Structure 1
């Protein structure tokens, strides 16, 4: 897939070597508006000299820029910090890791993806329950309410449900809805894609509230009956540690 040139330029000019960089946000979720910014996420590799020195290492690189009218939000974490997040019930980093919208990759990215699949637990449901609840509150604070937080609410709930049932990370709402078959989602996505990033919501908010409560209940139940493990196996942490050591040592060669 071809991406706007500023994404490639941001990778080329990054302060540190990258393991991977992928697209997140509305473009990944399948409902980007013409004026949506691009969310570029990834993993950088700090040199051992910075990790071992007295100065605090730069674990996160975060920058916003506008290039030729394109808004780009770049966030990368050092590989050690990213691995630590993988070992927690953090669905967001797993979505970045498994995003099909890959702008830059390495063999170690593929290795990390395989380990990421083994980091999924039943408690990742809490991540999606909390995220969806936060988006629902955001929706209700807006006057008038906007389409975007409503789509984020349903996207996170359906991602969580799909993960509990299959063990697979899927963040694209259109793909998720092929199984969920919620007709109103197609209409909401079409409205957002054809409109603006801050497109105003039309329709009965009480209907969407009922759906929010219903899907929240389904995700809570799915967490109880899933076959996913309760915690990550110790072997996974050991393999992540081994990969981290190899990456640090390689950069000293």
Structure 2
């Protein structure tokens, strides 16, 4: 069954985001190598009033990397209207890639790209398989689902968007169990694959998506019975596992990429 999906980025908003990225470069003396849409607009189920969650990776000039003292490696722009913009310095991003950080993997798989340095993104994509940890990703998504379920789905009336913030990580967990690789960022791709033999459940998911994509972020409603039962069944089967990080000895490829990127910016 086809799952509803949309990535609404109006031309005027895209232009505003591109201008803001250029302003960040000038204000912080950095170069943005990659920028994408994260959150609900990237996942494909944004509400009309959803924020634009812009995430980016940037590099400093060579002098910044030759400083002994540790410096700030995150750029955060105060939320303005509907824009939520945040970026990670390249060394930080590569370190998180080496630790199989699922959030960074999602950024790299975003269907909405604002900026990308082609050669760098090609190398990052090639490295994803090398550093992906199924165990760590599974733990990340299961923890996310449990936290949201405890916090938001205990009443008879629930906030509609929270179903998707639980259902999405649980389907990602099922993807990892069956395929041992990183699940797709687009919710529709994930749901179509994992609910292929559950048409009634998929139909109810589409009903939920139709509400989420037409109503406000704060919309409340009655429980979706099939979805709720599906979530409870999966969570009841799960026992949390201790996370085992990947060894630091595998970071050589990332060291080389950092070196190459910084020298490219210095040239």
Tell me if TM exceeds 0.5.
yes
1:35-50 equivalences under 5 Å are 35-50=49-64
What is the CA–CA distance in structure 2 between the aligned matches of 1:148 and 1:142, rounded to whole Å? 14
Q: 1:219 to 1:97 in 2, by over 3 A?
A: farther
| Pair 1:161 & 2:171 matched | no
The Cα of 1:234 is off from its aligned counterpart by: 7.0
Distance of 1:142 and 1:76 partners within structure 2:
36
- After TM superposition, give the deviation of residue 232 of structure 1 in Å: 5.2
Residue equivalent to 2:218:
198
**Residue 240 of structure 1, CA deviation:** 1.0
Q: What's the CA shift for 1:249?
A: 2.1
Q: Within the alignment, does 1:186 sit opposite 2:206 as a pair?
A: yes
Distance in structure 2 (CA, Å) of the matches to 1:57 and 1:122: 32
Could you tell which deviates more after superposition, 100-109 or 175-184?
Answer: 175-184
Q: CA deviation at 1:246?
A: 1.2
1:108 to 101, 120, 123: 120
| Alignment pair present for 1:137 and 2:162 | no
The Cα shift of 1:233 comes to 7.9
SS in 2 for 1:194: coil
Structure 1 SS opposite 2:162: helix
2:18 corresponds in structure 1 to: 8
Of the structure 1 ranges 43-52 and 239-248, higher mean CA displacement relative to structure 2 is found in 43-52
**Distance in 1 of aligned mates of 2:158 and 2:49:** 18
TM score, norm. by length of structure 2: 0.80
After TM superposition, give the deviation of residue 219 of structure 1 in Å. Answer: 7.3
1:51–1:57 Cα contact (<8 Å) kept = no
Deviations 1:83-132 (A, max 9, x none): 11112242111101121211100120121121123221221100101111
5+ residue gaps, structure 2: 1-8, 196-201
Deviates more, 1:52-61 or 1:239-248: 52-61
Q: Is the 8 A contact 1:160 1:219 kept in 2?
A: no
Please tell me the root mean square deviation across aligned C-alpha atoms, in Å: 2.7
Gaps of 5+ in 1: 224-229
- 2-structure distance, mates of 1:119, 1:216: 27
